[in-house]
Structure 1
Amino acid sequence: MSEPPSEDRRRPVVTLPLAVAGLCLALPFGAMLWVDSYARTTPEFIGIPFFYWYQMLWVPISTALTAVAYVLVRRAERARKGGARR
């Protein structure tokens, strides 16, 4: 028979916060890879074609989503380490 996993060899568990963090990291990639959604010139914003300002809009959005993912992963790590000490 197989032995139960020891404390050192536990499987990583995918929790809701980690899944949300993964979604936050994948969302900008999906938005940029779906070129048909932004491959046009209208509507313009202060004279800049949609193609350009849409991409530049994703810079701060990606930054915010990466920060959210970082916080979620750090909280999950602290919770896992805190629960392992008990």
Structure 2
Amino acid sequence: MSTPDVPTRGPARPGPYVIAGILLIIAIAVPLFVPAYALDEPRLAGMPFFYWYQMMWIPVTAALVGASYWLVTKEDRRRREAVRSATGAGEKP
């Protein structure tokens, strides 16, 4: 867990935030493009493609959101550690 008493004003790297944003855009935009999967075939266990494709996106979206969360929290921890080490708050007496 993060500690709210230490500010996250350390230098931010844009990479993790950009990657997290791209993952979230994929999770949102791909299922919204209905013409790509508005099909009956191929069927999976008798279920039309339209339905099983949408259900497939549930765990995929959960994984993409989880990866985004992990990237952002990892960067947040790195920034908090940078602030602690710069101010000496992480040192023990």
Per the TM superposition, whether the score is higher than 0.5 is yes
Residues 6-85 of structure 1 aligned to structure 2 (within 5 Å): 13=12, 15-85=14-84
RMSD over equivalenced CA pairs, Å: 1.8
C-alpha distance in 2, partners of 1:22/1:44?
A: 33
Superimposed CA distance per residue, residues 11-67 of structure 1 (whole angstroms, 9 cap, x where no aligned partner): x84611111111111112111111110011111111000000000000000111111
Unaligned runs of 5+ in 2: 1-6, 87-93
Unaligned runs of 5+ in 1: 1-7
Aligned length: 77
Structure 1 segments, 4+ long, off by >4 Å, are none
Which residue identity does 1:46 align to in structure 2?
Answer: A
Which is bigger in relative contact order (C-alpha 8 A, separation at least 6)?
2
Which residue identity does 2:82 align to in structure 1?
Answer: G
Query: Residue in 1 aligned with 2:89?
Result: none
Whichever structure has more helix as a proportion of its residues is 1
Which residue identity does 1:15 align to in structure 2?
Answer: P
How high is the sequence identity, in percent, across the aligned residues? Answer: 39
> Once the 2 structures are TM-superposed, how far is the Cα of residue 72 of structure 1 from its aligned partner?
0.4
SS in 2 for 1:41: coil
